[in-house]
Structure 1
Protein backbone atom coordinates (compact mmCIF):
# COMPACT_ATOMS: atom_id res chain seq x y z
CA UNK A 1 0.00 0.00 0.00
CA UNK A 2 1.30 3.48 -0.82
CA UNK A 3 1.50 5.42 2.45
CA UNK A 4 2.55 8.79 3.77
CA UNK A 5 3.81 8.55 7.34
CA UNK A 6 3.62 11.53 9.72
CA UNK A 7 5.17 11.30 13.18
CA UNK A 8 7.97 12.59 15.37
CA UNK A 9 9.02 10.77 18.60
CA UNK A 10 10.12 7.22 19.42
CA UNK A 11 6.48 6.13 19.74
CA UNK A 12 5.99 7.00 16.07
CA UNK A 13 9.34 5.62 14.91
CA UNK A 14 8.40 2.17 16.15
CA UNK A 15 5.26 2.26 14.01
CA UNK A 16 7.24 3.46 10.98
CA UNK A 17 9.67 0.55 11.37
CA UNK A 18 6.77 -1.90 11.49
CA UNK A 19 5.28 -0.44 8.31
CA UNK A 20 8.65 -0.66 6.55
CA UNK A 21 9.05 -4.27 7.70
CA UNK A 22 5.54 -5.06 6.42
CA UNK A 23 6.61 -3.98 2.93
CA UNK A 24 4.49 -0.87 2.49
CA UNK A 25 5.53 1.73 -0.08
CA UNK A 26 6.34 4.92 1.85
CA UNK A 27 7.35 7.64 -0.62
CA UNK A 28 7.07 10.48 1.93
CA UNK A 29 7.70 10.87 5.66
CA UNK A 30 6.61 14.03 7.47
CA UNK A 31 8.12 14.96 10.83
CA UNK A 32 8.73 18.00 13.02
CA UNK A 33 11.68 20.29 12.26
CA UNK A 34 14.99 19.52 14.00
CA UNK A 35 15.10 20.92 17.54
CA UNK A 36 18.02 22.12 19.72
CA UNK A 37 19.03 19.47 22.24
CA UNK A 38 21.83 18.60 24.67
CA UNK A 39 24.31 20.85 26.40
CA UNK A 40 25.51 22.34 23.14
CA UNK A 41 21.91 22.91 21.98
CA UNK A 42 22.77 21.53 18.56
CA UNK A 43 19.93 20.78 16.19
CA UNK A 44 18.82 17.19 16.61
CA UNK A 45 16.61 15.30 14.15
CA UNK A 46 13.53 13.50 15.42
CA UNK A 47 13.64 9.71 15.91
CA UNK A 48 11.29 9.39 12.92
CA UNK A 49 13.63 11.40 10.70
CA UNK A 50 16.66 9.39 11.77
CA UNK A 51 14.89 6.12 11.01
CA UNK A 52 13.49 7.31 7.69
CA UNK A 53 16.90 8.46 6.47
CA UNK A 54 18.44 5.13 7.48
CA UNK A 55 15.99 3.48 5.09
CA UNK A 56 16.49 6.02 2.31
CA UNK A 57 13.00 7.48 2.63
CA UNK A 58 12.21 11.04 1.59
CA UNK A 59 11.70 13.30 4.62
CA UNK A 60 10.00 16.69 4.71
CA UNK A 61 9.72 18.92 7.79
CA UNK A 62 7.19 21.70 7.19
CA UNK A 63 6.45 24.12 10.02
CA UNK A 64 2.75 23.84 9.22
CA UNK A 65 0.48 21.93 6.86
CA UNK A 66 -1.74 24.94 6.27
CA UNK A 67 0.29 26.44 3.41
CA UNK A 68 -0.25 25.57 -0.27
CA UNK A 69 3.39 24.47 -0.51
CA UNK A 70 3.07 22.00 2.36
CA UNK A 71 -0.23 20.67 1.10
CA UNK A 72 1.28 20.11 -2.33
CA UNK A 73 3.82 17.75 -0.71
CA UNK A 74 0.94 15.53 0.37
CA UNK A 75 -1.18 15.87 -2.75
CA UNK A 76 1.65 15.08 -5.16
CA UNK A 77 2.29 11.66 -3.60
CA UNK A 78 -1.12 10.26 -4.45
CA UNK A 79 -1.08 8.12 -1.32
CA UNK A 80 -3.82 5.67 -0.46
CA UNK A 81 -3.50 6.36 3.28
CA UNK A 82 -1.62 8.73 5.57
CA UNK A 83 -0.62 7.12 8.90
CA UNK A 84 -0.22 9.62 11.73
CA UNK A 85 1.40 8.91 15.10
CA UNK A 86 2.30 11.66 17.58
CA UNK A 87 3.11 14.02 14.73
CA UNK A 88 2.57 17.27 16.62
CA UNK A 89 1.07 19.32 13.80
CA UNK A 90 -2.59 19.97 13.06
CA UNK A 91 -3.86 18.35 9.87
CA UNK A 92 -6.31 20.73 8.18
CA UNK A 93 -9.34 19.30 6.40
CA UNK A 94 -7.71 19.79 3.02
CA UNK A 95 -4.90 17.43 4.04
CA UNK A 96 -7.23 14.96 5.75
CA UNK A 97 -9.13 14.60 2.47
CA UNK A 98 -6.09 14.12 0.21
CA UNK A 99 -5.22 10.43 0.68
CA UNK A 100 -7.69 8.22 -1.17
CA UNK A 101 -8.66 6.39 2.04
CA UNK A 102 -8.03 9.19 4.46
CA UNK A 103 -5.69 9.59 7.44
CA UNK A 104 -5.38 6.99 10.20
CA UNK A 105 -4.15 7.91 13.67
CA UNK A 106 -2.46 5.63 16.20
CA UNK A 107 -3.88 6.93 19.48
CA UNK A 108 -2.62 5.72 22.86
CA UNK A 109 -5.92 5.21 24.69
CA UNK A 110 -9.20 3.36 24.43
CA UNK A 111 -11.26 6.09 22.82
CA UNK A 112 -13.39 7.99 23.66
CA UNK A 113 -11.53 7.92 26.99
CA UNK A 114 -8.52 10.22 27.09
CA UNK A 115 -8.74 12.20 23.91
CA UNK A 116 -5.96 14.77 23.71
CA UNK A 117 -2.32 15.37 24.53
CA UNK A 118 -1.38 13.14 27.50
CA UNK A 119 -3.46 9.95 27.46
CA UNK A 120 -0.79 7.68 28.94
CA UNK A 121 -0.16 9.83 32.01
CA UNK A 122 -3.84 10.62 32.58
CA UNK A 123 -4.75 6.93 32.53
CA UNK A 124 -2.24 6.20 35.30
CA UNK A 125 -3.33 9.24 37.33
CA UNK A 126 -6.96 8.14 37.12
CA UNK A 127 -6.09 4.63 38.34
CA UNK A 128 -7.50 3.10 35.15
CA UNK A 129 -7.25 -0.69 35.07
CA UNK A 130 -6.43 -0.69 31.38
CA UNK A 131 -5.55 1.50 28.44
CA UNK A 132 -4.66 0.55 24.89
CA UNK A 133 -4.37 1.60 21.27
CA UNK A 134 -7.15 2.87 19.06
CA UNK A 135 -6.62 3.10 15.31
CA UNK A 136 -9.00 5.83 14.20
CA UNK A 137 -10.03 7.57 11.01
CA UNK A 138 -9.02 11.18 11.53
CA UNK A 139 -11.45 14.07 11.19
CA UNK A 140 -11.23 17.75 12.10
CA UNK A 141 -12.13 17.15 15.77
CA UNK A 142 -9.77 16.34 18.64
CA UNK A 143 -9.50 12.53 18.46
CA UNK A 144 -13.19 12.30 17.55
CA UNK A 145 -12.94 10.17 14.40
CA UNK A 146 -14.47 6.76 13.78
CA UNK A 147 -12.60 3.74 15.15
CA UNK A 148 -11.16 1.03 12.92
CA UNK A 149 -9.68 -1.18 15.63
CA UNK A 150 -9.22 -1.20 19.42
CA UNK A 151 -6.41 -3.00 21.25
CA UNK A 152 -6.64 -3.11 25.09
CA UNK A 153 -3.61 -3.25 27.41
CA UNK A 154 -3.66 -3.75 31.21
CA UNK A 155 -1.99 -1.13 33.42
CA UNK A 156 0.09 -2.81 36.14
CA UNK A 157 0.69 -1.48 39.64
CA UNK A 158 4.34 -0.82 38.75
CA UNK A 159 3.79 0.91 35.43
CA UNK A 160 5.28 4.35 34.95
CA UNK A 161 4.45 6.56 32.00
CA UNK A 162 7.79 5.45 30.56
CA UNK A 163 7.08 1.72 30.81
CA UNK A 164 3.52 2.10 29.61
CA UNK A 165 4.70 4.24 26.69
CA UNK A 166 7.05 1.47 25.56
CA UNK A 167 4.32 -1.17 25.77
CA UNK A 168 1.88 1.01 23.85
CA UNK A 169 4.47 1.89 21.20
CA UNK A 170 5.00 -1.80 20.49
CA UNK A 171 1.25 -2.45 20.53
CA UNK A 172 0.59 0.53 18.24
CA UNK A 173 3.13 -0.72 15.72
CA UNK A 174 1.46 -4.13 15.62
CA UNK A 175 -2.01 -2.60 15.52
CA UNK A 176 -1.45 -0.30 12.54
CA UNK A 177 0.05 -3.11 10.45
CA UNK A 178 -2.86 -5.42 11.29
CA UNK A 179 -5.46 -2.72 10.66
CA UNK A 180 -4.05 -1.82 7.26
CA UNK A 181 -3.95 -5.49 6.30
CA UNK A 182 -7.66 -5.82 7.14
CA UNK A 183 -8.74 -2.37 5.95
CA UNK A 184 -11.26 -3.67 3.41
CA UNK A 185 -12.88 -5.93 5.99
CA UNK A 186 -12.87 -3.48 8.93
CA UNK A 187 -15.70 -0.96 8.73
CA UNK A 188 -15.21 2.12 10.88
CA UNK A 189 -17.31 2.40 14.03
CA UNK A 190 -18.42 5.68 15.57
CA UNK A 191 -17.05 6.45 19.00
CA UNK A 192 -19.55 6.13 21.87
CA UNK A 193 -21.03 9.40 23.05
CA UNK A 194 -20.69 8.33 26.68
CA UNK A 195 -17.38 8.10 28.49
CA UNK A 196 -15.57 10.97 26.79
CA UNK A 197 -12.64 12.35 28.79
CA UNK A 198 -9.84 14.73 27.85
CA UNK A 199 -6.16 14.23 28.60
CA UNK A 200 -4.95 17.77 29.21
CA UNK A 201 -1.32 18.65 28.54
CA UNK A 202 0.96 18.12 31.52
CA UNK A 203 2.59 20.98 33.41
CA UNK A 204 5.59 21.12 35.73
CA UNK A 205 3.48 22.80 38.39
CA UNK A 206 0.98 19.95 38.63
CA UNK A 207 3.88 17.50 39.08
CA UNK A 208 4.78 19.13 42.40
CA UNK A 209 3.84 16.60 45.08
CA UNK A 210 1.02 17.54 47.46
CA UNK A 211 1.76 15.48 50.56
CA UNK A 212 -1.75 16.12 51.91
CA UNK A 213 -3.16 13.75 49.28
CA UNK A 214 -3.65 10.04 49.99
CA UNK A 215 -0.54 7.91 49.57
CA UNK A 216 -2.03 5.89 46.70
CA UNK A 217 -2.71 9.08 44.73
CA UNK A 218 0.80 10.40 45.34
CA UNK A 219 2.43 7.13 44.28
CA UNK A 220 0.38 7.03 41.07
CA UNK A 221 1.30 10.65 40.32
CA UNK A 222 5.00 9.92 40.77
CA UNK A 223 4.75 7.04 38.31
CA UNK A 224 2.60 9.03 35.90
CA UNK A 225 5.07 11.92 35.70
CA UNK A 226 8.03 9.62 34.99
CA UNK A 227 9.83 10.61 32.77
CA UNK A 228 8.23 14.01 32.17
CA UNK A 229 7.66 16.48 33.67
CA UNK A 230 9.02 14.57 36.69
CA UNK A 231 7.34 14.59 40.11
CA UNK A 232 9.19 16.91 42.46
CA UNK A 233 9.28 18.21 46.01
CA UNK A 234 11.76 19.91 48.34
CA UNK A 235 14.33 18.39 50.69
CA UNK A 236 15.91 20.94 53.03
CA UNK A 237 14.90 23.65 50.58
CA UNK A 238 16.55 21.94 47.60
CA UNK A 239 14.74 20.40 44.64
CA UNK A 240 14.18 16.66 44.86
CA UNK A 241 12.80 14.60 41.97
CA UNK A 242 10.85 11.42 42.64
CA UNK A 243 10.81 8.69 39.99
CA UNK A 244 9.17 5.63 41.48
CA UNK A 245 7.00 4.92 44.50
CA UNK A 246 4.27 2.75 45.96
CA UNK A 247 1.83 3.11 48.84
CA UNK A 248 1.59 1.07 52.05
CA UNK A 249 -0.59 1.18 55.15
CA UNK A 250 0.41 3.39 58.05
CA UNK A 251 0.15 6.97 59.15
CA UNK A 252 2.47 9.89 59.76
CA UNK A 253 2.42 13.65 59.34
CA UNK A 254 2.13 14.69 55.71
CA UNK A 255 5.59 14.95 54.15
CA UNK A 256 7.46 13.60 57.19
CA UNK A 257 10.11 10.96 56.53
CA UNK A 258 9.25 8.06 58.86
CA UNK A 259 12.26 5.93 58.01
CA UNK A 260 14.85 5.50 55.30
CA UNK A 261 16.43 2.17 54.54
CA UNK A 262 17.26 -0.16 51.66
CA UNK A 263 13.56 -0.72 50.99
CA UNK A 264 12.85 2.95 50.43
CA UNK A 265 12.29 6.39 51.90
CA UNK A 266 8.94 6.14 53.72
CA UNK A 267 6.96 9.38 53.89
CA UNK A 268 3.69 10.35 55.55
CA UNK A 269 0.72 11.64 53.57
CA UNK A 270 -2.92 12.56 53.92
CA UNK A 271 -3.70 8.87 54.27
CA UNK A 272 -1.21 5.99 54.26
CA UNK A 273 2.52 6.01 53.66
CA UNK A 274 4.47 6.61 50.42
CA UNK A 275 7.55 4.46 49.82
CA UNK A 276 9.97 6.30 47.55
CA UNK A 277 12.23 3.82 45.79
CA UNK A 278 13.99 6.01 43.23
CA UNK A 279 15.04 9.62 43.90
CA UNK A 280 17.23 12.34 42.43
CA UNK A 281 18.73 15.26 44.33
CA UNK A 282 19.38 18.59 42.62
CA UNK A 283 22.39 18.24 40.33
CA UNK A 284 22.62 14.52 40.96
CA UNK A 285 21.69 11.28 39.23
CA UNK A 286 18.67 9.06 39.66
CA UNK A 287 19.45 6.70 42.52
CA UNK A 288 17.83 3.70 44.12
CA UNK A 289 16.74 4.49 47.67
CA UNK A 290 19.63 2.56 49.27
CA UNK A 291 22.17 4.62 47.33
CA UNK A 292 20.31 7.89 47.87
CA UNK A 293 20.28 7.55 51.65
CA UNK A 294 23.92 6.38 51.90
CA UNK A 295 25.16 9.95 52.28
CA UNK A 296 22.14 11.16 54.25
CA UNK A 297 22.15 9.39 57.64
CA UNK A 298 19.83 11.97 59.23
CA UNK A 299 17.06 11.72 56.65
CA UNK A 300 14.47 10.23 59.01
CA UNK A 301 12.42 12.92 60.73
CA UNK A 302 12.85 15.55 58.03
CA UNK A 303 9.83 16.97 56.26
CA UNK A 304 9.63 16.98 52.47
CA UNK A 305 8.07 19.90 50.64
CA UNK A 306 9.13 22.50 53.19
Structure 2
Protein backbone atom coordinates (compact mmCIF):
# COMPACT_ATOMS: atom_id res chain seq x y z
CA UNK A 1 0.00 0.00 0.00
CA UNK A 2 1.23 3.51 -0.79
CA UNK A 3 2.24 5.34 2.38
CA UNK A 4 2.19 9.09 3.00
CA UNK A 5 1.88 11.59 5.80
CA UNK A 6 -1.30 13.28 6.96
CA UNK A 7 -0.19 16.71 5.62
CA UNK A 8 0.02 15.43 2.03
CA UNK A 9 -3.65 14.53 1.76
CA UNK A 10 -6.77 16.68 1.46
CA UNK A 11 -9.10 16.82 4.45
CA UNK A 12 -11.76 14.22 3.63
CA UNK A 13 -15.17 12.80 4.27
CA UNK A 14 -15.73 9.15 3.37
CA UNK A 15 -18.96 7.72 1.98
CA UNK A 16 -19.32 3.94 1.75
CA UNK A 17 -21.23 0.95 3.07
CA UNK A 18 -20.23 -2.65 2.15
CA UNK A 19 -17.11 -4.69 2.83
CA UNK A 20 -15.12 -3.59 -0.26
CA UNK A 21 -15.38 0.02 0.94
CA UNK A 22 -13.75 -1.03 4.24
CA UNK A 23 -10.57 -1.91 2.32
CA UNK A 24 -10.38 1.64 0.98
CA UNK A 25 -11.23 3.21 4.34
CA UNK A 26 -8.46 1.20 6.00
CA UNK A 27 -5.99 2.39 3.34
CA UNK A 28 -6.91 6.02 3.97
CA UNK A 29 -6.46 5.61 7.72
CA UNK A 30 -3.13 3.85 7.20
CA UNK A 31 -2.02 6.71 4.93
CA UNK A 32 -2.74 9.21 7.68
CA UNK A 33 -5.77 10.83 6.06
CA UNK A 34 -7.66 13.41 8.09
CA UNK A 35 -11.19 11.99 7.79
CA UNK A 36 -13.67 14.44 9.30
CA UNK A 37 -16.73 12.23 8.96
CA UNK A 38 -17.93 8.88 7.57
CA UNK A 39 -21.34 8.65 5.90
CA UNK A 40 -22.90 5.21 5.52
CA UNK A 41 -26.29 3.56 5.09
CA UNK A 42 -28.51 3.15 8.17
CA UNK A 43 -28.44 -0.02 10.25
CA UNK A 44 -30.60 -2.67 8.61
CA UNK A 45 -31.88 -6.18 9.25
CA UNK A 46 -29.36 -8.68 7.91
CA UNK A 47 -28.76 -12.41 8.11
CA UNK A 48 -30.98 -15.30 9.12
CA UNK A 49 -31.98 -13.76 12.41
CA UNK A 50 -32.95 -10.49 10.74
CA UNK A 51 -31.12 -8.62 13.49
CA UNK A 52 -30.53 -4.91 13.09
CA UNK A 53 -26.88 -4.58 12.08
CA UNK A 54 -24.59 -1.73 11.06
CA UNK A 55 -22.84 -1.65 7.71
CA UNK A 56 -19.27 -3.00 7.56
CA UNK A 57 -18.06 0.57 6.99
CA UNK A 58 -19.79 1.83 10.14
CA UNK A 59 -18.28 -0.93 12.25
CA UNK A 60 -14.76 -0.26 10.96
CA UNK A 61 -15.11 3.52 11.19
CA UNK A 62 -16.08 3.24 14.85
CA UNK A 63 -13.09 0.94 15.43
CA UNK A 64 -10.91 3.72 13.98
CA UNK A 65 -12.57 6.28 16.26
CA UNK A 66 -14.13 8.19 13.37
CA UNK A 67 -17.35 10.20 13.44
CA UNK A 68 -20.18 8.33 11.69
CA UNK A 69 -23.48 9.64 10.33
CA UNK A 70 -26.34 8.15 8.31
CA UNK A 71 -27.51 11.58 7.20
CA UNK A 72 -25.66 12.86 4.15
CA UNK A 73 -27.10 16.33 4.65
CA UNK A 74 -24.83 16.63 7.71
CA UNK A 75 -22.04 17.28 5.20
CA UNK A 76 -23.57 20.67 4.43
CA UNK A 77 -22.46 21.88 7.88
CA UNK A 78 -18.81 20.83 7.48
CA UNK A 79 -16.47 23.73 6.77
CA UNK A 80 -12.96 22.26 6.88
CA UNK A 81 -13.34 19.39 4.39
CA UNK A 82 -12.03 19.87 0.87
CA UNK A 83 -13.02 16.56 -0.76
CA UNK A 84 -15.37 13.58 -0.41
CA UNK A 85 -14.34 10.00 -1.25
CA UNK A 86 -17.13 7.65 -2.34
CA UNK A 87 -16.86 3.84 -2.46
CA UNK A 88 -20.09 1.86 -2.96
CA UNK A 89 -22.08 4.28 -0.83
CA UNK A 90 -25.37 2.94 -2.20
CA UNK A 91 -27.24 6.10 -3.15
CA UNK A 92 -27.07 8.86 -5.74
CA UNK A 93 -25.54 12.01 -4.26
CA UNK A 94 -27.63 15.10 -4.89
CA UNK A 95 -26.42 18.18 -6.74
CA UNK A 96 -26.68 20.44 -3.66
CA UNK A 97 -24.28 18.19 -1.73
CA UNK A 98 -21.85 18.13 -4.66
CA UNK A 99 -21.99 21.91 -4.98
CA UNK A 100 -20.98 22.20 -1.33
CA UNK A 101 -18.31 19.48 -1.41
CA UNK A 102 -16.64 18.04 -4.54
CA UNK A 103 -16.27 14.27 -4.48
CA UNK A 104 -14.37 11.50 -6.21
CA UNK A 105 -15.50 7.91 -6.57
CA UNK A 106 -13.69 4.57 -6.66
CA UNK A 107 -15.66 2.74 -9.35
CA UNK A 108 -15.10 -0.96 -10.04
CA UNK A 109 -14.94 -0.94 -13.84
CA UNK A 110 -13.05 0.64 -16.72
CA UNK A 111 -15.41 3.47 -17.50
CA UNK A 112 -17.37 4.16 -19.60
CA UNK A 113 -17.92 0.39 -19.69
CA UNK A 114 -20.26 -0.80 -16.95
CA UNK A 115 -21.59 2.35 -15.38
CA UNK A 116 -24.04 1.50 -12.63
CA UNK A 117 -24.76 -0.77 -9.69
CA UNK A 118 -23.29 -4.16 -10.69
CA UNK A 119 -20.12 -3.64 -12.76
CA UNK A 120 -18.27 -6.70 -11.44
CA UNK A 121 -21.11 -9.15 -12.02
CA UNK A 122 -21.86 -7.73 -15.48
CA UNK A 123 -18.22 -7.97 -16.55
CA UNK A 124 -18.09 -11.67 -15.62
CA UNK A 125 -21.46 -12.43 -17.23
CA UNK A 126 -20.38 -10.73 -20.45
CA UNK A 127 -17.16 -12.74 -20.60
CA UNK A 128 -14.94 -9.65 -20.44
CA UNK A 129 -11.25 -10.50 -20.48
CA UNK A 130 -10.32 -7.61 -18.22
CA UNK A 131 -11.75 -4.98 -15.93
CA UNK A 132 -10.35 -2.51 -13.44
CA UNK A 133 -11.01 0.50 -11.25
CA UNK A 134 -11.43 4.15 -12.08
CA UNK A 135 -10.94 7.12 -9.77
CA UNK A 136 -13.53 9.52 -11.15
CA UNK A 137 -15.23 12.82 -10.51
CA UNK A 138 -18.70 12.45 -8.99
CA UNK A 139 -21.52 14.16 -10.87
CA UNK A 140 -25.25 14.19 -10.18
CA UNK A 141 -25.70 11.80 -13.12
CA UNK A 142 -24.71 8.14 -12.77
CA UNK A 143 -20.98 7.41 -13.20
CA UNK A 144 -20.49 10.02 -15.93
CA UNK A 145 -17.66 12.05 -14.39
CA UNK A 146 -14.18 12.53 -15.79
CA UNK A 147 -11.53 9.97 -14.83
CA UNK A 148 -8.43 10.89 -12.79
CA UNK A 149 -6.77 7.45 -12.88
CA UNK A 150 -7.46 3.83 -13.67
CA UNK A 151 -5.91 0.45 -12.91
CA UNK A 152 -6.48 -2.70 -15.00
CA UNK A 153 -6.68 -6.36 -14.00
CA UNK A 154 -7.45 -9.49 -16.06
CA UNK A 155 -10.54 -11.60 -15.37
CA UNK A 156 -9.60 -15.25 -15.10
CA UNK A 157 -11.87 -18.24 -15.70
CA UNK A 158 -11.76 -18.92 -11.97
CA UNK A 159 -12.70 -15.41 -10.83
CA UNK A 160 -15.98 -15.06 -8.97
CA UNK A 161 -17.72 -11.78 -8.21
CA UNK A 162 -16.35 -12.08 -4.66
CA UNK A 163 -12.72 -12.73 -5.62
CA UNK A 164 -12.74 -10.07 -8.33
CA UNK A 165 -14.35 -7.48 -6.06
CA UNK A 166 -11.72 -8.14 -3.39
CA UNK A 167 -8.93 -7.62 -5.91
CA UNK A 168 -10.51 -4.46 -7.29
CA UNK A 169 -10.90 -3.02 -3.79
CA UNK A 170 -7.15 -3.36 -3.24
CA UNK A 171 -6.36 -1.86 -6.65
CA UNK A 172 -8.78 0.96 -5.99
CA UNK A 173 -7.25 1.74 -2.61
CA UNK A 174 -3.77 2.04 -4.12
CA UNK A 175 -5.01 4.14 -7.05
CA UNK A 176 -6.95 6.45 -4.73
CA UNK A 177 -4.00 7.08 -2.39
CA UNK A 178 -1.81 7.82 -5.41
CA UNK A 179 -4.35 10.36 -6.73
CA UNK A 180 -4.80 12.01 -3.33
CA UNK A 181 -1.06 12.44 -2.78
CA UNK A 182 -0.91 14.37 -6.07
CA UNK A 183 -4.22 16.21 -5.65
CA UNK A 184 -5.42 18.15 -7.58
CA UNK A 185 -4.74 16.13 -10.72
CA UNK A 186 -6.02 16.48 -14.32
CA UNK A 187 -8.94 14.33 -15.44
CA UNK A 188 -9.92 12.79 -18.77
CA UNK A 189 -13.58 13.01 -19.87
CA UNK A 190 -15.30 9.71 -20.62
CA UNK A 191 -16.27 8.82 -24.15
CA UNK A 192 -19.96 8.69 -25.04
CA UNK A 193 -19.95 4.93 -25.76
CA UNK A 194 -21.09 3.68 -22.37
CA UNK A 195 -22.52 0.35 -21.27
CA UNK A 196 -24.66 0.01 -18.15
CA UNK A 197 -24.37 -2.46 -15.30
CA UNK A 198 -27.96 -2.63 -14.20
CA UNK A 199 -28.74 -3.94 -10.72
CA UNK A 200 -28.89 -7.72 -10.55
CA UNK A 201 -32.40 -9.14 -10.29
CA UNK A 202 -32.89 -12.27 -8.15
CA UNK A 203 -34.46 -14.02 -11.14
CA UNK A 204 -31.22 -13.66 -13.09
CA UNK A 205 -29.74 -16.37 -10.89
CA UNK A 206 -32.13 -19.05 -12.21
CA UNK A 207 -30.13 -21.30 -14.53
CA UNK A 208 -31.52 -21.98 -17.98
CA UNK A 209 -29.84 -25.20 -19.08
CA UNK A 210 -30.53 -24.28 -22.72
CA UNK A 211 -27.68 -21.80 -22.45
CA UNK A 212 -24.13 -22.74 -23.37
CA UNK A 213 -21.95 -24.42 -20.77
CA UNK A 214 -19.67 -21.37 -20.79
CA UNK A 215 -22.52 -18.97 -20.04
CA UNK A 216 -23.88 -21.15 -17.23
CA UNK A 217 -20.44 -21.28 -15.60
CA UNK A 218 -20.18 -17.49 -15.86
CA UNK A 219 -23.57 -17.26 -14.18
CA UNK A 220 -22.36 -19.47 -11.34
CA UNK A 221 -19.22 -17.34 -10.91
CA UNK A 222 -21.04 -14.00 -11.07
CA UNK A 223 -24.35 -14.53 -9.27
CA UNK A 224 -26.15 -16.49 -6.61
CA UNK A 225 -27.01 -19.08 -9.29
CA UNK A 226 -29.65 -21.72 -8.59
CA UNK A 227 -31.95 -24.30 -10.09
CA UNK A 228 -34.89 -26.37 -8.90
CA UNK A 229 -34.53 -30.11 -8.30
CA UNK A 230 -37.37 -32.28 -6.99
CA UNK A 231 -39.25 -29.16 -5.94
CA UNK A 232 -36.38 -27.74 -3.88
CA UNK A 233 -34.10 -24.82 -4.67
CA UNK A 234 -30.47 -25.81 -5.14
CA UNK A 235 -27.76 -23.15 -5.13
CA UNK A 236 -24.88 -23.96 -7.49
CA UNK A 237 -21.77 -22.51 -5.89
CA UNK A 238 -19.07 -23.92 -8.16
CA UNK A 239 -19.17 -25.68 -11.51
CA UNK A 240 -17.01 -26.34 -14.56
CA UNK A 241 -17.50 -27.09 -18.24
CA UNK A 242 -17.19 -30.61 -19.58
CA UNK A 243 -17.05 -31.97 -23.16
CA UNK A 244 -20.34 -32.75 -24.84
CA UNK A 245 -22.09 -35.83 -23.55
CA UNK A 246 -25.21 -37.33 -25.12
CA UNK A 247 -28.39 -36.31 -23.36
CA UNK A 248 -31.27 -33.88 -23.50
CA UNK A 249 -30.75 -30.36 -22.21
CA UNK A 250 -31.11 -30.41 -18.41
CA UNK A 251 -30.55 -34.17 -18.17
CA UNK A 252 -28.16 -35.71 -15.67
CA UNK A 253 -25.64 -37.45 -17.96
CA UNK A 254 -23.65 -38.40 -14.85
CA UNK A 255 -24.63 -38.07 -11.19
CA UNK A 256 -22.90 -34.67 -10.94
CA UNK A 257 -23.08 -33.53 -14.59
CA UNK A 258 -25.94 -31.88 -16.48
CA UNK A 259 -26.33 -31.53 -20.25
CA UNK A 260 -26.50 -28.05 -21.77
CA UNK A 261 -27.10 -26.70 -25.26
CA UNK A 262 -23.52 -27.34 -26.35
CA UNK A 263 -21.98 -29.72 -23.82
CA UNK A 264 -22.39 -30.24 -20.11
CA UNK A 265 -21.66 -28.68 -16.74
CA UNK A 266 -20.17 -30.57 -13.82
CA UNK A 267 -21.43 -29.42 -10.43
CA UNK A 268 -18.67 -29.12 -7.81
CA UNK A 269 -20.22 -27.34 -4.81
CA UNK A 270 -23.85 -26.73 -3.90
CA UNK A 271 -26.09 -25.40 -1.15
CA UNK A 272 -29.47 -27.10 -0.76
CA UNK A 273 -32.33 -25.02 0.61
CA UNK A 274 -32.02 -24.60 4.38
CA UNK A 275 -28.62 -26.31 4.56
CA UNK A 276 -24.96 -25.36 4.60
CA UNK A 277 -22.74 -25.36 1.53
CA UNK A 278 -21.26 -28.74 0.65
CA UNK A 279 -19.40 -30.56 -2.09
CA UNK A 280 -21.46 -32.08 -4.87
CA UNK A 281 -20.33 -35.52 -3.73
CA UNK A 282 -21.71 -34.92 -0.23
CA UNK A 283 -24.99 -33.68 -1.70
CA UNK A 284 -25.26 -36.72 -3.97
CA UNK A 285 -25.14 -39.09 -1.00
CA UNK A 286 -28.61 -37.95 0.01
CA UNK A 287 -30.06 -36.53 -3.19
CA UNK A 288 -30.77 -39.84 -4.93
CA UNK A 289 -29.94 -38.49 -8.37
CA UNK A 290 -30.65 -40.94 -11.18
CA UNK A 291 -28.73 -40.61 -14.44
CA UNK A 292 -31.33 -39.69 -17.04
CA UNK A 293 -33.35 -37.50 -14.64
CA UNK A 294 -34.02 -34.02 -16.03
CA UNK A 295 -33.39 -31.18 -13.61
CA UNK A 296 -35.91 -29.02 -15.42
CA UNK A 297 -38.80 -31.45 -14.98
Shorter-normalised TM-score: what interval? over 0.9
What TM-score comes out, normalization by structure 1 length? 0.90
1:205 match: secondary structure: helix
Gaps of 5+ in 1: none
1:300 match: secondary structure: coil
| Match 2:207 to one of 197, 209, 221 | 209
Q: Deviations over 1:76-129 (max 9, x none)?
A: 243111000110122111111222xx2000100000000001000000000000
Q: What residue in structure 2 maps to residue 254 of structure 1?
A: 249
Alpha-carbon distance between aligned partners in 2 of 1:4 and 1:32, rounded to the nearest angstrom: 14
Alpha-carbon distance between aligned partners in 2 of 1:219 and 1:169, rounded to the nearest angstrom: 24
Q: Deviations over 1:142-180 (max 9, x none)?
A: 100000001111101011111111111111111211111
| Match 1:83 to one of 82, 85, 88 | 85
Count of matched residue pairs: 287
Q: What residue in structure 1 maps to residue 99 of structure 2?
A: 97
Say if 2:75 and 2:97, in contact at 8 Å, map to a contact too: no
Say if 1:28 and 1:77, in contact at 8 Å, map to a contact too: no
Gaps of 5+ in 2: 1-9
Q: What residue in structure 2 maps to residue 141 of structure 1?
A: 141
Q: What residue in structure 2 maps to residue 15 of structure 1?
A: 24
1:279 to 2:282 alignment: no
Say if 2:225 and 2:235, in contact at 8 Å, map to a contact too: yes
Q: Deviations over 1:16-65 (max 9, x none)?
A: 11000000100110000000123432210111111111111100012xx4
What TM-score comes out, normalization by structure 2 length? 0.93
1:96 match: secondary structure: helix
Q: Deviations over 1:189-211 (max 9, x none)?
A: 001223x1000111111211011
Deviation of 1:297 after TM superposition, in Å, equals: 4.7
Question: What's the Cα RMSD here?
Answer: 1.4
